[in-house]
Amino acid sequence: MLKTEGRNRSLSFTYTGSSTHMGSKILRQPDAEHLIQPFPIKEFKEENEEVDDFALPCLPSPTNPKEAKQIRILEQITSKFHLTDAHLMHIEKRMLDEVNRGLGKATNRTANVKSFVTYVHEIPSGRESGQYLALDLGGTNFRVILVELEAGSRSVKMKACKHEVSQKLMLGPGEDLFDFMTGCLVEFMKDHDLHGRKYHLGFTFSFPTRQRQLDRAELTHWTKGYKNAGVEGQDVVTLLKRSINKRPELDIQVEAILNDTTGCLLACAYKRPECAIGIILGTGTNASYVEDMNHVELYEGPRPRGCKSVVINTEWGAFGNTGSLDIIRTRYDHDMDSNSLNPGKQVYEKLISGMYLGELTRYILVHAIELGILFDGEAQTLLSVPGGFPTKYISEIEADPTRSTFTNIKQVMLELDISVATDFDLQVVRYICECVSTRAAYLAGAGVASLINKVARRRVTVGMDGSLYKFHPHLDRRMRSATRRLVSDCIQFEMVLSEDGSGRGAALAAAVAEKQRKKFID
Ligand code: GLC
């Protein structure tokens, strides 16, 4: 469990149980020793299985024989989206196998889920103070953040500046991307009158990297629509430093590079010591968790004195790349994947995350139109265009308070330039959105369950962040209900929103980096 000795809390995970996954709820029994570990935090909100009206997609009710026939077709084309408990148990188990394969020296090379070592061993003690800079690259926006830590206070002050990353930048030469980031940093420092002194910086870089130390990380491959040339296989910190060095006015020490999930975990653990898992459900999806050092065969270099655990960045988005999710994938998943920038890659991510759910829904809507069960078979121009149905529409449509309230969905129809839509059409559209988002929630819930079972503490907090998680009105509840069904009865868990881990986590990582360095032994 997470030791919380005094204020100097180290992520030392004293593992007392078996590391072998033994299945889900029914089979998994954490070692009895876990059950006698004391827990320092009192107000722990245990998750209960919640089944409510919004937990399952709801088919429209037909008002005439034509609609009854259309509903039968709709049921057929969406039938594969409904996952059974048997599916979820299978996925939970396979995910755990994949994470373990990533950890193993002999299996890592062929593993889909790489389980990268982050070299983050410690969470801050709360005594850190000072101003730190953070850079955050990982989705459609890039941010520069100034974080102020105050000793003894567990809240942080932040100032941030957000810049949209254009398609051109995402696909252009790597050097341009790094120079863009450095340019934003220079501008930010000027705006906040920060030039003239040295700053320590944490870099949240939310792509798969193989780290060799806290400030060295090679990009294995781009995800989420980025494809900059000259970066894959390179150390991203070196590229950043090279760009920073072009600007003599900057005096920056890059202390740490981390993934957004690790930032989320750190930022959450700063406030809640039982946090051992960080999850992002945003443009992409991924998870980090605290692992026992004894299970980490690919740790490079000297092991820091006294550190029993380390954070692992699973990169679980790649789960399913070699077919283990094919049992649940639909023709729409396959079509969307073939037309993506990275066919055959990030299979789990494509079933779950914000970059893909809208597009997937669009494929089903277009097919439903072709089958004559939507909009009287009339093709819709904007819906025919790739990217024409952004994921935010799913959240907006499902936020209408009942299935016969059409406020938001009518607004979406307006934006899509669809002028003729019956109530039945609107219910069909909502149903399709529900099928896609419920499956995503359940799949994410199964993934979280596998990590909770793996961490195997009596109580664990899961830090959650990401636009999809924050903005979808029912995803969180659906996900919790799936997770609860799959987690061992002996384990209590809670999922909490841990906002802006990418900023706070990066600054906290930079703050502890120096302290951590001193712990290394030759
Ligand atoms: C993608 C990235 C991963 C990131 C996740 C969430 O899966 O590969 O590194 O954590 O998106 O942003």
If you measure from the C-alpha of residue 507 to the centroid of ligand 1, how many angstroms do you get, rounded to a whole number?
A: 19
Q: How many helices (H) and strands (E) does the chain have?
A: 15, 13
pTM: 0.89
> Of all protein residues, whose CA lies closest to atom 1 belonging to ligand 1?
284
149, 249, 510 from 194: Cα distances, Å = 16, 11, 18
On the question of pLDDT at 357 being above 80, the answer is yes
> Of all protein residues, whose CA lies closest to atom 9 belonging to ligand 1?
207
Catalytic residue, chosen from 25, 93, 114, 224, is: 224
On the question of pLDDT at 234 being above 90, the answer is yes
- CA dihedral (310, 316, 321, 326) positive or negative: positive
CB 190 within 8 A of CB 182: no
Instruction: Clarify whether 260 is annotated catalytic.
Output: yes
Nearest atom, ligand 1, residue 224 CA: 1
Secondary structure of residue 38 in the 3-state scheme: coil
Strands 275-281 and 141-149: unpaired
Render pLDDT for 383-398 as a digit per residue (tens, 0 to 9): 999 999 999 999 999 9
Secondary structure of residue 441 in the 3-state scheme: helix
Angle at 485 (CA atoms; ends 38, 350), nearest 5 degrees: 110
pLDDT of the residue at 346: 97
pLDDT band at 14 (very low <50, low <70, confident <90, very high): very low
If you measure from the C-alpha of residue 77 to the centroid of ligand 1, how many angstroms do you get, rounded to a whole number?
A: 30
> Of all protein residues, whose CA lies closest to atom 3 belonging to ligand 1?
207
Render pLDDT for 273-330 as a digit per residue (tens, 0 to 9): 899 999 999 999 999 999 999 999 999 988 888 889 999 999 999 999 999 999 999 9
Render pLDDT for 70-82 as a digit per residue (tens, 0 to 9): 999 999 999 999 9
Instruction: Clarify whether 251 is annotated catalytic.
Output: no
pLDDT band at 177 (very low <50, low <70, confident <90, very high): very high
Query: Which of 231, 265, 286 for a ligand 1 pocket mutation test, highest count of atoms within 8 Å of Cβ?
Result: 286
Region 36-41 average pLDDT: 33
On the question of pLDDT at 201 being above 60, the answer is yes
Percent of the chain exceeding pLDDT 70 equals: 88
> Of all protein residues, whose CA lies closest to atom 12 belonging to ligand 1?
284
Strands 492-497 and 459-465: parallel
Nearest atom, ligand 1, residue 284 CA: 11
Phi, psi (degrees; rounded to nearest 5) at 102: -65, -35
Query: Which of 315, 346, 356, 468 for a ligand 1 pocket mutation test, highest count of atoms within 8 Å of Cβ?
Result: 315
pLDDT of the residue at 23: 30
CB 296 within 8 A of CB 270: no
If you measure from the C-alpha of residue 318 to the centroid of ligand 1, how many angstroms do you get, rounded to a whole number?
A: 10
Query: Which of 224, 283, 288, 355 for a ligand 1 pocket mutation test, highest count of atoms within 8 Å of Cβ?
Result: 224
Phi, psi (degrees; rounded to nearest 5) at 462: -110, 120
CB 34 within 8 A of CB 456: yes
pLDDT of the residue at 36: 28
If you measure from the C-alpha of residue 516 to the centroid of ligand 1, how many angstroms do you get, rounded to a whole number?
A: 25
The mean predicted confidence, pLDDT, of the chain is 88
- What single-letter DSSP state applies at residue 324? T
On the question of pLDDT at 38 being above 90, the answer is no
Nearest atom, ligand 1, residue 207 CA: 9
Region 225-242 average pLDDT: 97
If you measure from the C-alpha of residue 263 to the centroid of ligand 1, how many angstroms do you get, rounded to a whole number?
A: 12
Q: Who wins on pLDDT, 97 or 302?
A: 97
Cα separation, 335 vs 26, whole angstroms = 37
pLDDT of the residue at 11: 37
Nearest atom, ligand 1, residue 139 CA: 12
On the question of pLDDT at 485 being above 90, the answer is yes
pLDDT of the residue at 160: 96
Query: Which of 115, 210, 280 for a ligand 1 pocket mutation test, highest count of atoms within 8 Å of Cβ?
Result: 280
Nearest atom, ligand 1, residue 138 CA: 12
Region 85-92 average pLDDT: 95
If you measure from the C-alpha of residue 378 to the centroid of ligand 1, how many angstroms do you get, rounded to a whole number?
A: 38
> Of all protein residues, whose CA lies closest to atom 8 belonging to ligand 1?
207
pLDDT of the residue at 491: 96
If you measure from the C-alpha of residue 466 to the centroid of ligand 1, how many angstroms do you get, rounded to a whole number?
A: 10
Catalytic residue, chosen from 136, 215, 235, 260, is: 260
pLDDT of the residue at 469: 97
**H or E, element range at 450:** helix 423-455
Secondary structure of residue 143 in the 3-state scheme: strand
CA–chain centroid gap for 183, Å, is 28
If you measure from the C-alpha of residue 314 to the centroid of ligand 1, how many angstroms do you get, rounded to a whole number?
A: 10
Nearest atom, ligand 1, residue 316 CA: 7
On the question of pLDDT at 153 being above 60, the answer is yes
Nearest atom, ligand 1, residue 349 CA: 7
Cα separation, 271 vs 154, whole angstroms = 6
pLDDT of the residue at 520: 55
Residue 389, CB half-sphere, CA atoms under 13 Å: how many?
26
Q: What is the DSSP string of 221-253?
A: ---TT---BT-TTSBHHHHHHHHHHT-TT--EE
pLDDT of the residue at 5: 28
pLDDT band at 512 (very low <50, low <70, confident <90, very high): confident
On the question of pLDDT at 40 being above 70, the answer is no
pLDDT of the residue at 136: 96
On the question of pLDDT at 230 being above 50, the answer is yes
pLDDT band at 500 (very low <50, low <70, confident <90, very high): confident
Q: Who wins on pLDDT, 272 or 210?
A: 210
pLDDT band at 30 (very low <50, low <70, confident <90, very high): very low
Render pLDDT for 441-458 as a digit per residue (tens, 0 to 9): 999 999 999 999 999 999
CB neighbours of 470 closer than 8 A, spacing ≥ 6?
497, 499
On the question of pLDDT at 20 being above 80, the answer is no
Name all residues whose Cβ lies below 6 A of ligand 1: 138, 206-208, 223-224, 259-261, 280, 282-286, 315, 317, 349
pLDDT band at 518 (very low <50, low <70, confident <90, very high): low
pLDDT of the residue at 13: 29
If you measure from the C-alpha of residue 388 to the centroid of ligand 1, how many angstroms do you get, rounded to a whole number?
A: 23
Render pLDDT for 41-56 as a digit per residue (tens, 0 to 9): 335 556 655 556 667 8
If you measure from the C-alpha of residue 116 to the centroid of ligand 1, how many angstroms do you get, rounded to a whole number?
A: 12
Q: Who wins on pLDDT, 177 or 303?
A: 177
Query: Which of 260, 311, 468 for a ligand 1 pocket mutation test, highest count of atoms within 8 Å of Cβ?
Result: 260
Cα separation, 112 vs 325, whole angstroms = 12
Region 250-279 average pLDDT: 94
pLDDT of the residue at 124: 73
On the question of pLDDT at 6 being above 80, the answer is no
Q: What is the DSSP string of 38-107?
A: --S-S----------TTSS--PPPPSSHHHHHHHHHHHHHHGGG---HHHHHHHHHHHHHHHHHHHSTTT
Nearest atom, ligand 1, residue 209 CA: 9
Comparing CA positions, the residue from 114, 95, 269, 326 lying closest to residue 207 is 114
